[in-house]
Amino acid sequence: LIPVMFWLMRRLFGRSAAWLTAWLLALAPFLVRYSQEARMYGLLALLGAVATYLLIRALDEQGWWLWLAYALTIVAGLYTDYYVFFIVASHWLYVGFVSLRPRLSWTRLRRAILAPRWLGANALALLLFLPWLPTAYHQLRTIQGADWIGSVNADTIPVTMSQFLNYSFFQPLQWPGSQ
C-alpha cells in the first residue's frame, strides 16, 4: 500500500506530498493493526489504491491495457469486500469532476461518463462480478440481524476516531454518580 500511495501522490501532488503520505501510512495505527491480521482490510486498501492509481493513469494516457488492469483490479476488490462499490462510486464522481474542471459543460460531462473505454472497463468489471451476485445477495440478506455491530449513539464517532488514530478505545467521561 505504501509504495502505491507514494506513486499516486507523486503523480497527483508531487514528491513532498508523496513522502508525507508514505510516512503517515507507515505510522498509521489503523493500517498497522490491519497489516497484522489475516483479514481482507489490508488487501482492500491496496486494491483501492491500485485501482485509483490505474484510473488516474488511464485518464491521462488512455491505454487500453490500463483500462483492462483497472477493471480487473476493481473485480478483485469486489470479490474481496463489497465496500469497493464505494470506491467505484467515488471514481465515477472523480471522472465527472475531472471532465468539468476546465469549464462547466454538461456535454463534456456526458462525453466523459459515456467514454467507451471508461464504460467498457466498468462493464467488464460488472460482467466478471455477475457470477457472484447470487452469493452476495444471500450474504447481504442474512446479515440483516447481525448483532456484532452496536447501535449508533453519542460515543460512536469518538470511539471510532480513537481506534483509527491510536489503536485504543475511547472511554467516555463518567460523571460522578452516573453509571
| 3-state per-residue secondary structure call for the chain | CHHHHHHHHHHHHCHHHHHHHHHHHHHCHHHHHHHCCCCCHHHHHHHHHHHHHHHHHHHHHCCHHHHHHHHHHHHHHHHHCCCHHHHHHHHHHHHHHHHHCCCCCHHHHHHHHCCHHHHHHHHHHHHHHHHHHHHHHHHHHHHHHCCCCCCCCCCHHHHHHHHHHHCCCCCCCCCCCCC
Single pTM value for the model: 0.76
For the stretch 11-69, pLDDT in tens is 999 999 999 999 999 988 878 877 777 788 888 999 999 999 999 999 888 889 999 99
Average pLDDT, the chain: 83
The pLDDT assigned to 38 comes to 76
